[in-house]
Chain A
Amino acid sequence: MTEPLTRTRGESGRVTGSSRRTRRGWSSLLYLVPAFVFYGTFTIAPWVQSVWLSFWEWDGIGAATWAGFENYIKVATDERLVVALRNGLGFIVFYTVFPVILGLLVAAVIAARPRRGSGFVRTVLFLPQILPLVAVGVVWRYLYAADGPINQVLRAVGLGDVARAWLGDFTWAYPAVGVIGTWVTTGLCMMLLLAGIQKIDPSLYEAARLDRCGPVRQFWHVTVPGVRAEIVVAVTVTLISALASFDIVYVTTGGGPGYQTIVPGVLIYKLVFTSNEVGLACALATVLSAIILVFVAVIGRIGRRGA
């Protein structure tokens, strides 16, 4: 959207003389230095270091030995690591797909007919976003427990046969943990999309109504295209939290039962702190960040093509 503006400014700059432009460019760069020093020291340098460490076999304390690509071969062949990557990718359904759909629906309903109480609904839905994820995990572990509230409700309504220790069930533990992710990220998606919807020109809805579009068609033809940019942002942010998930899984199941809910984040942590395989952990982390970068790049491209 800002493309044309920048281009005009660039062209006028060229007319007035390039030397002044360059000087202005350099001095403006100076303002970036403090932020960049921080970013370089605390983000880029550690990242480069972990990539570097991924080529070593190191226990975290003693001398390391050069491993070449051995750690990467292990990442591609070790069954546990592959399962973790697959589980992380599967979480995209719970962290991204469901929340964006749910968030979009709720936002559309709230925006279409603001009524008393919608502010309350908004606050309640956004609440999970401001809670520390460890606290969220502890609360849900209690909710899912064999004698926890969820099972008590099920028994009370005569569904006692369905009641189970959800996090200990080989079939249900994974979706149970996924639902927590949905619960956490739906509020964020709703807020983002609501802001987008409120930006849409009301005359578009009016025009749609004049064309005899019902609420459903208004939603598809006005709302959804209108919040395209916000959807891209929501998908990007939640996708990263799906692939890099750690806290919720670590607190609720620790990856169990068996390896049903193991995700790369938990495995990286265990590789470093339990089995002292720092090199292998860094290799897995590098692969994970590469996957995330590819996803983000693809989503960005899809988003731009539509704009």
Chain B
Amino acid sequence: MQRRTRLVLAPLAAGALLGLALTACTPGATTTGAGAAPDASTELTTDDITLTLMSTPESGAATEATIAAFETEHPNITIEYSQTNYEDYNQSVNLNLSSDQSPDIVLLNAVANTVKNKLVLPLDDYADLYGWNDFFPANQLNQWRVADNGTTLGDGGALYAAPAGFSLVGTYYNKAIAAELGIDAPTSLTEFEAALKTANAAGALPVQVGNAEGHAAFVVQLLGQGASGADTANAWAFGHAGATFDTEANHDAAQTLADWQTAGYLGDPTTVNGTDLQGAVDNFIGGKGLFLVDGIWDAGKIGEGLGDDAGFLPFPGENITGIGTSVAYAISTQSEHPNEAAAFLDFLRSPEASEQQFAQGFMPDDPTVAVAEEGTLQGDIVAAWAEIAEADGLVAFNNNATATMNDALKAGTQQLIAGQMSVGDFIASIQADWAAAHAG
């Protein structure tokens, strides 16, 4: 018996030692400094070179066509495109950037810890050379400006990514149901709530919400920033010191969502929490719901499903605001050809690239190519985008305020809708998550 024990223990101990030998050092590589990178310049090499670019199918939908146009203009530069689905992409992008075979250009979905670990290049020299700061409204670039601490975003930080196109969250509505109930497109929150009441009284579902993945957070954010204005909302979403979620506007917003729930405007709370976003879109297309708060990434599907009955509005509020972010690309610190990569980033705002983005349902960098027939869904979206830009009302996603905010908002709104959590506790839980990431 004793002998057998020893036989088992010896290899175990040896294995443990082997494991320790492999790992007994501080985890994590010390970041390799970039090699002697050439100075930023708009003059490109005449040698034949190949750049690699990584993206996701949704965000990269227009990118392949853009690459082809770029290669025609620069015959000596080849760009190899590869894509991974959204979740896998986000989990592997930093590992790819820190590996020996880092791609030159990467899609950046969130700043996360990419900038903190110096995995991508600051682009301010290129922004100056190419004049990006004059081309883009400030709030379109601020989402990719990062302060020295690596987490605080917004004005004053260094620029780390260049936009290829924009998404926008607003309000879809079913024109057929609205006409039947004699409801005009609401332009204020009062009119909006009156419409909800009318629809509910007539037995139609006022708002279609799918909160299995936490998308009711869009409603809370839009209600909140509609009252507080875009600047206050952005300061929080960007992690600015002293910002807080615990504001009257956000209390009212969360309370309004809870009230809508109680009034029956969202339908059965369990169904809301048990339906995901695509399920909600399907329901909305099937005629269940006067309104649906969602991003323009679903415009194609909704336009196809509802045809002429589909309409889109900026979410009504005291201030005209929208939630939006850009599909944006960054350059790896390890890229051997940063100048050529930057030339591609600049090409993203060209009319050719912009047309491709618009065709894929994104709002293009160059707004002049966004032309759509008035009265159509795309026409409504273009008009809403212009209205929000005019009001300087674009706000970053609250979901991206911290790495864990999406989970916090998902759990919080689910509890709020099911009546499992008070408005005060909801606000506190969101602010606690924010404070843990942006302390100090």
A contacts, CB < 8 Å to B = 29, 32, 36, 39-40, 44-49, 52-53, 56, 58-64, 144-146, 164-170, 253-259, 270, 273-276, 278
List 18 extra interface pairs beyond A44-B12, A164-B274, CB under 8 A: A40-B15, A44-B19, A48-B23, A52-B19, A52-B27, A58-B28, A59-B113, A60-B28, A60-B94, A60-B95, A146-B275, A167-B212, A169-B274, A170-B420, A256-B273, A257-B418, A273-B90, A275-B403
Residue of B nearest to A272 (CB): B91
B306: CB under 8 A from chain A? Answer: no
Establish whether residues A49 and B23, one from each chain, have CB atoms under 8 Å apart when the complex forms. Answer: yes
Q: Determine which residue in A45, A56, A166 has the highest number of CB atoms from chain B within 10 A of its CB, and name it.
A: A45
Q: A58: which of B27, B275, B414 is its contact (CB, 8 Å)?
A: B27
Establish whether residues A270 and B212, one from each chain, have CB atoms under 8 Å apart when the complex forms. Answer: no
Establish whether residues A146 and B15, one from each chain, have CB atoms under 8 Å apart when the complex forms. Answer: no
Establish whether residues B116 and A62, one from each chain, have CB atoms under 8 Å apart when the complex forms. Answer: yes
Q: Which residues of B contact A144 (CB under 8 A)?
A: 274
Q: Determine which residue in A29, A32, A169 has the highest number of CB atoms from chain B within 10 A of its CB, and name it.
A: A169
Listed stretches B101-109, B233-241, B404-412; interface member = B404-412
B31: CB under 8 A from chain A? Answer: yes
CB of B369 to closest CB in A, whole Å: 36
CA distance A255 to B94 in the complex (A): 25
CA distance A60 to B28 in the complex (A): 7
What are 27 A-B interface contacts by the 8 Å CB criterion?
A36-B11, A39-B15, A40-B11, A47-B19, A48-B15, A48-B23, A52-B24, A52-B27, A59-B113, A60-B28, A61-B95, A62-B113, A146-B279, A164-B270, A165-B273, A167-B274, A168-B271, A168-B272, A255-B411, A256-B414, A257-B273, A273-B90, A273-B91, A274-B407, A275-B403, A276-B403, A278-B27
Assuming the A-B contacts A256-B273, A257-B273, are A49 and B28 also in contact, with contact meaning beta carbons closer than 8 angstroms in the complex? no
Assuming the A-B contacts A256-B273, A259-B411, A275-B404, are A61 and B16 also in contact, with contact meaning beta carbons closer than 8 angstroms in the complex? no
Assuming the A-B contacts A256-B414, A257-B418, A258-B414, are A61 and B119 also in contact, with contact meaning beta carbons closer than 8 angstroms in the complex? yes
Q: Which residues of A contact B428 (CB under 8 A)?
A: none
Assuming the A-B contacts A40-B18, A48-B23, are A166 and B420 also in contact, with contact meaning beta carbons closer than 8 angstroms in the complex? no
B46: CB under 8 A from chain A? Answer: no
B202: CB under 8 A from chain A? Answer: no
Q: Which residues of B contact A60 (CB under 8 A)?
A: 28, 94-95, 113
B357: CB under 8 A from chain A? Answer: no
Establish whether residues A44 and B274, one from each chain, have CB atoms under 8 Å apart when the complex forms. Answer: no
Assuming the A-B contacts A45-B18, A56-B26, A62-B116, are A274 and B404 also in contact, with contact meaning beta carbons closer than 8 angstroms in the complex? yes
Establish whether residues A64 and B27, one from each chain, have CB atoms under 8 Å apart when the complex forms. Answer: yes
CB of A278 to closest CB in B, whole Å: 8
CA distance A157 to B28 in the complex (A): 59
Question: Which are the 5 A-B pairs with shortest beta-carbon distances?
Answer: A168-B274, A165-B274, A48-B19, A168-B273, A44-B15
CB of A286 to closest CB in B, whole Å: 13
Taking CB atoms and an 8 Å cut-off, the chain B residues in 324-352 that contact chain A are: none
Size of the B side of the interface (Cβ < 8 Å), in residues, is 49
CB of A242 to closest CB in B, whole Å: 23
Assuming the A-B contacts A170-B418, A256-B410, A258-B411, are A165 and B271 also in contact, with contact meaning beta carbons closer than 8 angstroms in the complex? yes
Residue of B nearest to A253 (CB): B212
Q: A62: which of B117, B272, B407 is its contact (CB, 8 Å)?
A: B117
CB of A238 to closest CB in B, whole Å: 25
CB of A134 to closest CB in B, whole Å: 13
B112: CB under 8 A from chain A? Answer: yes
CA distance A80 to B148 in the complex (A): 31
Residue of A nearest to B212 (CB): A168
Establish whether residues B24 and A146, one from each chain, have CB atoms under 8 Å apart when the complex forms. Answer: no
CA distance A276 to B279 in the complex (A): 30
CA distance A258 to B404 in the complex (A): 14
Q: Which residues of B contact A48 (CB under 8 A)?
A: 15-16, 18-20, 23
Q: Which residues of A contact B421 (CB under 8 A)?
A: 258
Q: Which residues of B contact A257 (CB under 8 A)?
A: 212, 273-274, 411, 414-415, 418
User: Scoring B residues 246 to 273 as 1 if CB is less than 8 Å from chain A, else 0, what string do you get?
Assistant: 0000000000000000000000101111
CA distance A290 to B15 in the complex (A): 18
CA distance A48 to B17 in the complex (A): 9
Residue of A nearest to B421 (CB): A258
Residue of B nearest to A32 (CB): B11
CA distance A255 to B415 in the complex (A): 13
User: Scoring B residues 365 to 404 as 1 if CB is less than 8 Å from chain A, else 0, what string do you get?
Assistant: 0000000000000000000000000000000000000011
Establish whether residues B403 and A45, one from each chain, have CB atoms under 8 Å apart when the complex forms. Answer: no
B36: CB under 8 A from chain A? Answer: no
CA distance A11 to B20 in the complex (A): 39
CB of A37 to closest CB in B, whole Å: 10
Residue of B nearest to A166 (CB): B274
B30: CB under 8 A from chain A? Answer: yes
User: Scoring B residues 190 to 216 as 1 if CB is less than 8 Å from chain A, else 0, what string do you get?
Assistant: 000000000000000000000111000
Establish whether residues B268 and A164, one from each chain, have CB atoms under 8 Å apart when the complex forms. Answer: yes
